[in-house]
Structure 1
Amino acid sequence: MSEQTNHFKVAIIGSGPAGLTAAIYTARANLNPVVFEGLQPGGQLTITTEVENFPGFEHGIQGPELMDIMRKQAHRFGAQSIYKDITEVDFSKRPFKLKSYDEEYYADAVIISTGASARLLGLESEAKYMGYGVSACATCDGFFFKGLKVIVVGGGDTAMEEANFLTKFASEVIIVHRRDEFRASKIMLDRAKKNPKIKFVTNKVIKEVLGVEEGGKKRMTGVLLEDTKDHSVTQLDADGLFIAIGHKPNTELFKNYLEMDETGYLIVKPGSTYTNVEGVFAAGDVADKKYRQAITAAGTGCMAALDAERWLEAQES
């Protein structure tokens, strides 16, 4: 392809709720956006089975289906999807250059919505029961564990916060941590310790997630715990496992150009989606370590689209 046909007014990197909302808005503004959907189109929601807290869906909706509807909506207004990963960027001059392996693309404005990935334990059995008892988001899935026993793995503020939140639904919450000291702030730890529904199991790591398959349906039934000191293995029965060992924003690609915090979250100008590079905007979990919900990601996707549209207008005038 020539540089001409590979030149877009707006390129959106990432295709979760933030990227696809940005696509809907920029497409409706006649900016003919291209969305680089990467190899996991739809982002984190594609591994979320049931989404019950996205406004407009009274009876809930499957995560992949919600993303599919958003994508079709963006396409209806003229957005284009390219199912490729962006492997390299050059934000040093405009038009910005994006590379997908050996293919080059150019864009006048870029919206980054590459999201964040929950840090996982990395077990095969964890992947097998993801969405079937194993979750990386208590606020998304806690509701499904009413009256059930769940495990939260982690030792930081996220783990304490998720454990406290889960006590609204679960009958018992067990925090499993690999050490006997916690990274969590004192206030969060004390709150968890005072909660009568929360128990602590320390110096243990999860070795395997256990489960059963009945009538074509699978569900998690417990975990195997390994003691970090004497390596003995015990079984702990539970209906759910919440991984709360943090998130990692997918920002490796932008290291040389964009300002980020110590964890790697992109820093935006307060009240906007502007990054430190003129013409590059950030939306969704890539810049949000606080809320991390589909609806807040969609909201910032809308903001990024409006910011980009106004910025492009200002360049032309």
Structure 2
Amino acid sequence: MSDTNEKFDYIIIGAGVAGLASAQYAARGGLKTLVIDVSIPGGQALTIPTLENYPGVYPALSGTQFCQNMRDQAEGFGAVIIQSEVQSIDKVGSDFKIVTRKDSYIGTCVLIATGAEHRKLGVPGEDKLEGRGVSYCATCDGPFFRNRKIFVIGGGDSACDEAMYLSTLTDDVTLVHRRDTLRAQKAVADRLLANPKVKVIFNAKVKEIKGEGRVQSIELEDTTDGSVTEHQCDAVFIFAGMNPVTQLVEMLPKDEGGYIKTDDDMKTLMPGLYAAGDIRSKSFRQVVTAVSDGAIAAHSAGEYVRNLKAKI
């Protein structure tokens, strides 16, 4: 690793929509801005087949195109975006030192926008068959199972949206939810329930995913009477919630779900350190709320940098 220690006003860790929105606002506002992510920019939004509920984006765009537009916009205003893995964040005087696998950087303030990752079910066969029919991304892996029998696990917006997408690839999609009603927004749930290609099994949970070398069947346990049934299938797509990616900032206060607590300005308890997007404790997680978080964080960071420079 080289030790460049290049100085930035604002370093954003995570290039999902919260990070990209924050980069655009910060760079446009005159802050020297760096975005670091281990993956390509876009985060979870890259998996959205059709982004139809973002205000002002009509006709709808794919998540991939939306994220590319955001990246182009942020870079157009001068933000620097690099792909690297951040290994540590340390407070050095009034600044922050960010160490990656290749370089290190100094930031006057930092935004944590590392988002959340898919939660696993923890059932037998899940890990063994991941990539062999078990998946957490329908748009990534769905085309491999065109005209095959697919099970989708979950009952929230993501599960319903992904089941709808998968129904464009096959006529045999079954959604399994452990409760008797879907958790998704009413419009999303109603659209799914009206889809003749999607069958819904309520009050059931996955007991085991079976197969030799690939997914061949799934065992479901009825949550009301404990009975177990086995169903032949070719793929199992799991959407059972998310776990916030907070390993870099374990010292910050979190809510009961492990999400970072901030105030309305995206400030954490550490001066100069902000959090935005799916990693932040809040009641509603959507692309539009992540973008809002990022914009607010950039505004707060701009004030912080200007005040610090004024004191110096």
TM-score normalised by the shorter chain: which range applies?
A: 0.7 to 0.9
Q: Check whether the contact 2:177–2:201 (CA below 8 A) recurs between aligned residues.
A: no
Of 71-80 and 117-126, more deviation after overlay is shown by 117-126
Using the size of structure 2 for normalisation, the TM-score is 0.75
Distance 1:129 1:284 in 2: 20
Q: Shift of the alpha carbon at 1:71?
A: 0.6
Bigger shift: residues 41-50 or 78-87? 41-50
Q: 1:140 to 1:112 in 2, by over 3 A?
A: farther
Distance of 2:220 and 2:288 partners within structure 1 = 40
- Residues 129 and 99 (structure 1), Cα distance of their counterparts in 2 relative to 1, 3 Å cut: closer
* 1:308 CA displacement: 0.5
| Partner SS, residue 91 of structure 1 | strand
Q: Cα distance 1:207–1:85, how it changes in 2: closer, same or farther (>3 A)?
A: same
Please state how far the C-alpha of 1:312 moved relative to its aligned partner: 1.3
Q: Distance in 1 between matches of 2:22 and 2:307?
A: 19
1:69-109 C-alpha deviation (Å, 9 max, x unpaired)? 10110111110011111111113642101111252211000
Pair 1:80–1:74, CA change in 2 (3 A): same
Distance 1:141 1:291, change over 3 A: farther
Once structures 1 and 2 are overlaid, which stretch shifts more, 64-73 or 98-107?
Answer: 98-107
Shift of 1:206: 5.4
Distance 1:163 1:224 in 2: 30
Aligned to 2:283, the other structure's residue is in SS state coil
Name the residue aligned to 1:151: 175
- Give the Cα separation in 2 of the matches to 1:313 and 1:266: 25
> 1:183 — aligned with what?
none
Q: Quick one: structure 1 residues 242 and 207, their matched pair in 2 at CA, closer, same or farther if it must change by over 3 Å? A: closer
Where does structure 2 lack aligned partners over 5 or more consecutive residues?
143-149
> Does the 8 Å CA contact 1:153/1:243 hold for their aligned counterparts?
no
Q: 2:68 is paired with a residue of what secondary structure?
A: helix
- Are 2:24 and 1:27 aligned? no
Per-residue deviation, 1:161: 1.2
Q: How much does 1:288 deviate?
A: 4.0
Residues 24 and 79 of structure 1 are in contact (CA less than 8 Å); yes or no, is this contact kept in structure 2? yes
The answer as to 2:245 corresponding to 1:245 is no
Alpha-carbon spacing, 1:84–1:227, altered in 2? closer, same or farther (3 Å): same
- Aligned mates of 2:8, 2:81 — CA distance in 1: 12
Q: Residue 266 of structure 2 contacts residue 274 of structure 2 at CA under 8 Å; is this kept in 1?
A: yes
The alpha-carbon deviation at position 55 of structure 1 amounts to: 2.4
Q: How does 1:63-142 map to 2 (within 5 A)?
A: 63-91=63-91, 93-101=93-101, 103-121=103-121, 122=126, 123-124=130-131, 125-127=133-135, 130-131=138-139, 132=142, 137-138=158-159, 140-141=161-162
Query: Are 2:196 and 1:200 aligned?
Result: no
TM alignment of 1:39-54, pairs within 5 A:
39-54=39-54
Establish whether residue 314 from structure 1 lines up as the match of residue 311 from structure 2: no
1:266 matched to 2:290? The reply is: no
231 and 163 in structure 1: CA distance in 2 versus 1, 3 angstrom threshold? farther
Q: Deviations over 1:143-182 (max 9, x none)?
A: 6569996413456x9x841397654123379xxxxxxxxx
* Whole-Å separation in 1 of the counterparts to 2:178 and 2:40: 26
Q: Which runs of 5+ in 1 are unaligned?
A: 174-196, 210-221
- Identity percentage of aligned residues: 28
How far, CA to CA, are the matches of 1:102 and 1:170 in structure 2?
46
**SS class of match (1:12):** strand
Q: Which amino acid aligns with 1:104?
A: S
AA in 2 matched with 1:233 = E
Which of 162, 175, 189 is equivalent to 2:184?
A: 162
Match of 1:285 among 253, 274, 278: 278
2:176 aligned partner, one-letter code: V
Call closer, same or farther: CA 1:164–1:199 in 2, change over 3 Å.
farther
Mapped to 2, the partners of 1:118 and 1:2 lie a distance apart of 33
Whole-angstrom CA distance in 2 between matches of 1:223 and 1:303: 47
Say whether the 8 Å CA contact 1:51–1:60 is kept in structure 2.
Answer: yes
Work out the CA distance in 2 between the residues paired with 1:172 and 1:259: 42
Instruction: State how far apart, in whole Å, the 1-side matches of 2:182 and 2:18 are.
Output: 27
Aligned to 1:9: 9
What SS is found at the alignment partner of 2:8? strand
Matched length:
275
CA distance change for structure 1 residues 50 and 56 in 2, over 3 Å: closer, same or farther? same
